[in-house]
Amino acid sequence: MNQDSSRFRAPSIPKSAMPLTLAALLISSLTTLFAWWVVWQLALALAGVTEEQTALALEKNLYWSEMLPRVSSLPWFAFLGLGVMVLIPLALFVPTIQAYGFAARAKQALTQEDLIEARVATANSSNAAWYAIGYAIFAVLLFGTVWFMIARDVAVGNTFFKLDLMLEKAGLVGNAFLTNVFIFMVAQVFILIWGLVVALARMVPGAAGQPIRLLATLYTDAFRGLPSVITIYLIGFGLPLTGFPILGDLPPVWYAIFALTLTYGAYVAEVYRAGIESIHPSQMMAARSLGLNFFQTMRFVIVPQAIRRIIPPLLNDFIGLQKDTALVNVIGTIDAFNQARILASNNFNLSTVTIVAILFVLITIPQARLVDRLLEQDAAKTRGAK
């Protein structure tokens, strides 16, 4: 074989993987100790041991003899849960030990001058070590959160997550949440249509279209700038005062829908416009060259393509809208947040508001996944194999 000396003059010898592996081992061990300490604190909290009692027991040097019986009196399912929590951090040692194994193999390969094997083993070792360190950080944050919940005699847990209160009031808050769902479902339909109308109005071609373009621009400028809470307030309290027939005596929910449609219609119009403008002008040219007029071109060629592109930003705006339904409490509509606030002040506890928070987060997750799926399916359809 022709030995090209310049190529093989300086083969890269992998750095030893041992230090990183040892760091991973150290971090995993410390994490495990911390986690176990948190589990013990949790066991004490579950057994109803207060910080004061703990301090007293320590003073009398009777910590273990007083605490162990109290913890051992916990029911079996508590032990099961705590037991699982004890085992969780141990999972960190699986990649850590793997990292050690690879590091050892790399060392051995180096002594046998098997460079390639050494490189592969080193890479595997550092991968496994970083994996362990990454999950160790995750575990520290997780157990840190648990500790935060139970610290100061479960102050945080009781303020935000008082389970018995949450279970008792979940039905009431959940029911009120249907009002939010109704508002955003109806508003979303209106917004989809209204936003498109405004977007198209902003793009009407020709000199004769100028007043329409101007009107649409003024509208988007005004309602995008107005805070939605002010729009809701003005419309929800203002329109009934005007005494207009029909418009003056709608149920408050419909004022909220109207106000949110006006606000988010302006946002969504801009999203539509960005989407429409992102379609290459050659598409417009091709459609017009076939004799389709402006609106036919928009309807069949431009908007269908634009919508595929704007679905992710559209979802953004819709999630914003869904969250803004919580603002309707300013006009006295009993939505989930308003209901939860009433319950919170009656019970001097914020746990019912936590329910609302959880509900809002929960509804957005399936929407995000649905959008991901829709986009994947469409891509697979139009760009599938030849």
Q: Which of 68, 137, 167, 290 binds another protein (CB under 8 A)?
A: 290
Nearer to another protein, 283 or 347 (CB): 283
The span of 42-50, 175-183, 234-242, 282-290 binding another protein (CB under 8 A) equals 282-290
Q: Which residue has the tokens 């194994």?
A: 101
CA 213 from centroid of its chain's CA atoms: 37
Amino acid (one-letter) located at 35: A
- Cβ–Cβ < 8 Å for 103, 122: yes
Single out the residue of 229, 292, 319, 334 in contact with another protein (rule: CB under 8 A).
292
Residue 159, interface with another protein (CB under 8 A)?
A: no
The answer to the question of residue 386 lying near another protein (CB under 8 A) is yes
Name residues whose C-beta falls within 8 Å of residue 275's C-beta, 6 or more positions apart in sequence: 306, 307, 309, 310
Judged by CB under 8 A, does residue 374 bind another protein?
A: no
**Residue from 176, 287, 311, 328 binding another protein (CB under 8 A):** 287
Number of residues that bind another protein (CB under 8 A): 23
* The only residue of 65, 175, 293, 346 in contact with another protein, by rule CB under 8 A: 293
CA quadruple 215, 216, 218, 223: dihedral positive or negative? positive
Least Å from the CB of residue 283 to another protein: 6
- How near is the Cβ of 325 to another protein at its closest, in Å? 33
Of the pair 305, 316, the CB lying nearest another protein is at 305
2 vs 382 by CB, closer to another protein: 382
* Phi then psi dihedrals of residue 349, to 5 deg: -155, 140
Half-sphere exposure of 30 (CA within 13 A, CB side): 10
Q: Are 4 and 79 in contact (CB under 8 A)?
A: no
Shortest Å distance, C-beta 212 to another protein: 20
What is the CB neighbour count within 10 angstroms for residue 243?
9
Q: Is 383 in the site for another protein (CB under 8 A)?
A: yes
Span near another protein by CB under 8 A; candidates 162-170, 235-243, 261-269, 377-385 = 377-385
DSSP state at residue 88: G
Angle at 265 between CA 263 and CA 267, to 5 degrees: 80
| 289 counts as binding another protein under rule CB under 8 A | yes
Q: Does 370 bind another protein (CB under 8 A)?
A: no
Express the helix, strand and coil content of the chain in percent, nearest 5 each: 85, 0, 15
- Residue 113 to residues 14, 119, 226: CA-CA distances in angstroms? 12, 11, 71
Nearer to another protein, 12 or 282 (CB): 282
Q: What does the alpha-carbon distance between residue 204 and residue 201 come to, in Å, rounded to a whole number?
A: 5
By the rule CB under 8 A, 300 interacts with another protein: yes
Q: Should residue 209 be labelled a site residue for another protein when binding is judged by CB under 8 A?
A: no
Amino acid identity, residue 200? L
Could you give the angle at the alpha carbon of 196 between the alpha carbons of 191 and 200, nearest 5°? Answer: 150
Shortest distance, position 207 Cβ to another protein, whole Å? 11
Which CB, 264 or 272, lies closer to another protein?
A: 272
> Judged by CB, which is closer to another protein: 298, or 328?
298
Site string for another protein, 302-321 (x = CB under 8 A): --xx--x-------------
Our CB check for another protein shows the closer of 147 and 272 to be 272
Tell me how long the chain is: 386
Which residue lies nearer to another protein by CB, 288 or 323?
288
How far is the C-alpha of 31 from the C-alpha of 52, rounded, in Å? 27
Residue from 342, 351, 360, 353 nearest 165 by CA: 351
* Binding of another protein by 208 (CB under 8 A): no
Summarize as ranges the residues that interact with another protein (CB under 8 A).
282-283, 285-293, 296, 300-301, 304-305, 308, 381-386
